Structure 1
Amino acid sequence: MRLVIAKCSVDYAGRLQAHLPLATRLLVVKADGSVLVHSDSLSYKPLNWMSPPCTLQSSEPDDEQREAGIVETWRVTHTKTADTLVVSIYEILHDSDHELGIDPGLQKDGVEAHLQKLLAEQIEVLGEGHRLIRREYMTAIGPVDILATDAAGASVAVEIKRRGDIDGVEQLTRYLELMNRDPRLAPVAGVFAAQEIKPQARTLAEDRGIRCVVLDYDAMRGIDDSHTRLF
């Protein structure tokens, strides 16, 4: 992982247009190829980012850019969509590389872990003909909650959350990109399963061909009958 603190401006061009004016920010380049632009606010959320597969090219400024004070330009291009993230760097305050190694993944507890167990036991919630292969299927970047097959025998990777947001969709996207390189599994479809899925997350998932499934925790535990509810 490369961490760069720099005075920079950022422009995103593609399905949407966005501009971040000159300011001091944290630039994160991860081993999976993703590039994230952070400020000292918004908690864990980046101001802008580019998800893999993408390429990063660094170049020295031309005469016009040099006169404007730019010392380096990053152009990050998404391989599939051709969207671009252009980072114009005016000053580098810190630049370091760190080898983090393989992360074992989040150890889940509470409701989320119980949801995984229940869904594994009731895999037909995903649809008739689905069959469980295993829970916590390990990949090089962490474990997929559930690996299953559908009625046609095709592989299905399932990511489970209590509340489904964009970060969960991004996480599943990374798993799918990796798993679809494995000829033993490919093609692998994705299912994003949660008790509640935010509209933005649903839109992003469906745009990427990922199916969303809302899980009824009480019904799966057998303590709530949705057919006898008044509301």
Structure 2
Amino acid sequence: MRSPAMAMRISGRFDGLRRLGGVLLDAALPPHCLTCEARVSAQGTQCLACFGRLQFIAEPVCEGCGTALPYAGARRCEACVARPHRFAAARAALVYDDGAKALLLPFKYADRTELAGPLALHMARAGAGLLARTDILVPVPLHWRRLLGRRYNQAGLLARLLAARVGKPWAADALRRHRRTASLGELGAEARRAAVAGAFAVAESRAGLLAGRRVLLIDDVLTSGATADACAEALLAAGVASVEVLVAARVAAPGRGRA
């Protein structure tokens, strides 16, 4: 049986080897910015120019959908007052502009799964309150055909990292997208809602796990909220206590006509 002192010495040696390995890796492959070719001081970071292009969403924000509000005092944006969402609240880390797209588009479409780490870090900071009060994290699912082509669900990667960070459970397969939907990119808000209506369902094997619990829905981008609403509808129908939403980025001032 190892003594505590011996265990500390062994642990210290492993830590030293890890640090040496990092030094050797940086020497062989100098760290570059996640979104350009500029040299940076540490792996997995952005240069000052790219980081400076990120537009973080700070208070005041709409309690309903997480969009930035023009002045303090208001609690909800006009769109949420006119048509409340099925989810109770939402929060986003970034405005979905060119700076955020430099992280999100390669992450989503170009196998850049290492970008999940910095995105999850931004989400954890922005959504600290949501993460603190949730019982379980659930990612927005992909249809199985799209998952087969992409090989990973970007929302699932974010949910796993966030759950590990805050010590909360997550359920990768709690929601199913049982009907494939066309790309929503060019559709307006009403057309998006029609496209995703009834597209999601709670897996029967997970219904007991979710019943009565506060669910935090995880996705990469929030636009009109149509997809999140459809997921929330399915979760609430299965008996969850509440649904809130945390995303990496959201479209600024979506208005009533566009998603």
Shorter-chain TM-score: what band?
under 0.3
TM-score when normalising by structure 2: 0.24
Greater helix share, 1 or 2? 2
TM-score when normalising by structure 1: 0.26
